């Protein structure tokens, strides 16, 4: 093999966040920037030598160029085989499934998830380990340490390969297979869900749906599953062609960014019965009914309460887990089912040990992500199919299913307020001030309710005993309301302060309030305690979901 060793100077900013390394495209295109990080991964992931690597991404700008570089570096670093998605496309859930199905040593996913794409947009890269899930903090910390002292990387001299056709190549001693991106994943979905029952929903126009792929990676998956296998209505898919800049949109499936979908579901005439969207790399989801939005925290609770109605979970579930900021709606369900509900830090990697140890079956986060033990990532298409299967079994609409759940378990009014691109120093000072005053807040009364607990959340993994500290300031009131403050690890500019509000109501006469109205007092309390307006010079949140 014609391997070159290229001298390189280290970059100081290659510390991965909760979902890998995310930066502006312009940052990744700096000389040797991508190569340094990839070599740092190969230096730590020695298990890849003489083994299989899965490789793909969400199709955003720089995706295909990065794949060509990584393939040549993989060959130079002793990888035996690579399976790469056709046209460089693989959703994050599909990568997780392929790792598990083919016993791969790991996978590299090129995506910045729900962040904008294009020449001036974001790019990202993360490594998934052999269980199909995101690499743990110990791995990403080790990669970062290597990246700070790296002086060279290895790459083979070879022409780029054609990713547009399914075929095999040899790059040095390494075999590369360009594979169909969709079929294996679609087959897995058909094993979990009752496709015939879902298909019957669309027979004779009994029901119509609208799925927004947001010009991201799930377009091809949606075409195969919803159009070809489920025979959904002819106009079921919108924005289903993956584009490098996501059509100029923001591939984040929420009401702020999926406005075309929201408009269709809220139309006065001929609104679809069911609406859904997924994000850039296909791991997030939003569920809508006619004139009705399902909060992701409620979605996880409803899935948990009804899992036994789905063929793949007909024998029941072992347990469930949610991230700290996710509402405690699922906790109530878990209590009724006599199963354990685990509270973890934000980041899907924290669910991995619980899934592998068979402590949980379902898991989810408030940030529009939910999943199960079928893979080790959250899964947007899976969540959509779960809801469609549920509708087929219960013969109820999205709204009816959700309201019935509230009647049984009470309603957790919930919202998240994002303050974006805050100066990092100001954001850190705000969080540090909350840490400093946490102890003095306990026992004080705000808006008529006493604070029962105020702390900086720390997580002890029940499987490996690892401790993860400083994951968010949580304020718990005696009436079961909550406020959580944390800084996001998925942005690429400044800091994003996220504030989460939750108000638990069991009075059946109060289950139909406007969410922001129901949470108004808590929102005012958060401002009083954290002083967001004065400390961050912000008059209001940038995004409310």
User: How far apart (Å, rounded) are the C-alpha atoms in residues 244 and 246?
Assistant: 6
Same domain, 390 and 423: no
Q: How many CA atoms lie within 13 A of 311 on its CB side?
A: 15
Contact criterion met (CB below 8 Å) for 197 and 393: yes
- What are the Cα distances from residue 492, in Å, to 36, 413, 500? 19, 30, 21
pLDDT digits (tens, 9 = 90+) for 86-104: 999 999 999 999 999 999 9
Pick left, alpha or beta for residue 423 (phi over 0 → left; psi -120 to 50 → alpha; otherwise beta): beta
Per-residue pLDDT band at 308 (split at 50, 70, 90): very high
pLDDT digits (tens, 9 = 90+) for 184-207: 999 999 999 999 999 999 997 889
Same domain, 448 and 491: yes
Which residue among 134, 151, 180 closes a domain? 180
Contact criterion met (CB below 8 Å) for 73 and 153: yes
Residues near 196 by beta carbon (within 8 Å), at least 6 away in sequence: none
- What are the Cα distances from residue 123, in Å, to 221, 248, 265, 492? 22, 15, 31, 9
Token pair belonging to 345: 């830090």
The single residue listed with the structure tokens 């009075």 is 507
pLDDT digits (tens, 9 = 90+) for 50-81: 999 999 999 999 999 999 999 999 999 999 99
Q: Partners of 20 in the beta sheet?
A: 17
3-state secondary structure of 476: strand
pLDDT digits (tens, 9 = 90+) for 314-358: 999 999 999 999 999 999 999 999 999 999 999 898 999 999 999
Same domain, 101 and 38: yes
How far, rounded to the nearest angstrom, does the alpha carbon of residue 289 sit from its chain's CA centroid? Answer: 22
Per-residue pLDDT band at 538 (split at 50, 70, 90): confident
Same domain, 37 and 154: yes
Same domain, 249 and 282: yes
What residues act catalytically? 113
**pTM of this prediction?**
0.94
473-477, strands of its sheet edge to edge: 445-446, 449-456, 473-477, 482-487, 495-505, 411-422, 543-544
Q: What is the pLDDT of residue 230?
A: 98
Q: Which domain holds residue 209?
A: 185-409
DSSP codes joined into one string, 247-310: GGS----STTT-HHHHHHHT-SSS--SEEEEE-TTS--EEEEETTEEE-HHHHHHHHHHHGGGS
3-state secondary structure of 150: coil
Same domain, 57 and 202: no
Same domain, 504 and 396: no
Whether 545 has a pLDDT exceeding 90, the answer reads: no
Which residue among 180, 205, 226 closes a domain? 180
Instruction: Tell me the CATH number at 526.
Output: 3.30.310.50
Q: What is the pLDDT of residue 437?
A: 94
Closest residue by Cα to residue 84 from 71, 66, 101, 69: 71
Instruction: Tell me the CATH number at 225.
Output: 3.40.120.10
DSSP codes joined into one string, 171-194: ETTEEEEEE-SSHHHHHHHHHHS-
First to last CA, the chain: 52
Q: Residues 183, 186, 191, 197: what is their CA dihedral angle, to the nearest 10 degrees? A: -130
Same domain, 195 and 264: yes
Same domain, 381 and 350: yes
Which residue among 409, 443, 459 closes a domain? 409
Q: What is the pLDDT of residue 148?
A: 98
Same domain, 530 and 440: yes
Q: What is the pLDDT of residue 492?
A: 58
Residues in the chain: 545
Per-residue pLDDT band at 218 (split at 50, 70, 90): very high
Into how many domains does the chain fold? 3
Q: Partners of 52 in the beta sheet?
A: 81
pLDDT digits (tens, 9 = 90+) for 464-485: 999 999 999 999 999 999 999 9
Same domain, 332 and 405: yes
Same domain, 146 and 76: yes
Whether 18 has a pLDDT exceeding 90, the answer reads: no
């Amino acid at each position: 093999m014609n391997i070159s060793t290229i001298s390189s100077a280290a970059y100081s900013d290659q510390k991965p966040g909760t979902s890998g390394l995310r930066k502006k495209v312009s940052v990744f295109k700096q000389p040797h920037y991508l190569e340094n990080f990839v070599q740092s991964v190969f230096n730590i992931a020695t298990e890849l030598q003489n083994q299989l690597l899965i490789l793909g991404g969400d199709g955003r700008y720089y995706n295909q160029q990065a794949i060509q570089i990584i393939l040549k570096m993989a060959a130079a670093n002793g990888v035996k085989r690579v399976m790469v998605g056709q046209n460089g496309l693989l959703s994050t859930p599909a990568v997780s499934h392929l790792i598990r199905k083919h016993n791969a040593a790991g996978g590299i996913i090129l995506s910045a998830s729900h962040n904008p794409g294009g020449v001036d947009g974001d790019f990202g890269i993360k490594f998934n380990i052999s269980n199909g899930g995101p690499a743990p903090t110990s791995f990403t910390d080790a990669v970062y340490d290597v990246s700070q002292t790296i002086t060279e990387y290895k790459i083979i001299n070879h022409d780029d390969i054609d990713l547009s056709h399914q075929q095999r190549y040899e790059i040095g001693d390494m075999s590369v297979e360009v594979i169909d991106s969709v079929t294996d994943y679609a087959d897995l979905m058909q094993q979990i869900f009752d496709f015939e029952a879902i298909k019957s929903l669309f027979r004779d126009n009994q029901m119509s749906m609208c799925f927004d792929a947001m010009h991201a990676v799930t377009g091809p998956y949606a075409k195969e599953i919803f159009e070809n296998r489920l025979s959904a209505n002819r106009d079921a898919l919108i924005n289903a062609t993956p584009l490098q800049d996501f059509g100029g949109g923001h591939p984040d499936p929420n009401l702020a960014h999926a406005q075309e979908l929201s408009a269709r579901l809220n139309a006065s005439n001929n609104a679809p019965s069911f609406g859904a969207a997924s994000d850039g790399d296909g791991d997030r989801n939003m569920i809508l009914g006619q004139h009705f939005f399902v909060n992701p925290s409620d979605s996880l609770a409803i899935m948990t309460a009804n899992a036994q109605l789905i063929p793949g979970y007909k024998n029941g579930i072992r347990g469930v887990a949610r991230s700290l900021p996710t509402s405690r709606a699922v906790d109530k369900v878990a209590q009724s089912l006599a199963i354990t509900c685990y509270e973890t830090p934000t980041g899907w990697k924290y669910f991995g040990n619980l899934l592998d140890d068979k402590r949980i079956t379902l898991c989810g986060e408030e940030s529009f992500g939910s999943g199960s033990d079928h893979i080790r990532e959250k899964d947007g298409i899976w969540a959509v199919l779960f809801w469609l299967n549920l509708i087929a079994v219960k013969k109820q609409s999205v709204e009816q299913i959700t309201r019935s759940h509230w009647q049984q378990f009470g309603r957790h009014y919930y919202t998240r307020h994002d303050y974006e691109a805050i100066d990092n120093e100001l954001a850190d000072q705000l969080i540090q001030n909350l840490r400093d005053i946490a102890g003095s807040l306990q026992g004080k009364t705000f808006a008529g309710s006493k604070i029962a607990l105020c702390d900086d959340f720390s997580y002890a993994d029940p499987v490996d005993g690892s401790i993860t500290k400083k994951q968010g300031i949580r304020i718990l009131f005696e009436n079961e309301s909550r406020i959580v403050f944390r800084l996001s690890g998925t942005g690429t500019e400044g800091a994003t302060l996220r504030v989460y509000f939750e108000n638990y109501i069991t009075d059946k006469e109060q289950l139909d309030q406007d969410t922001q109205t129901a949470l108004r007092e808590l929102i005012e309390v958060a401002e009083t305690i954290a002083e967001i307006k004065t400390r961050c010079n912000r008059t209001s949140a940038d995004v409310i979901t």
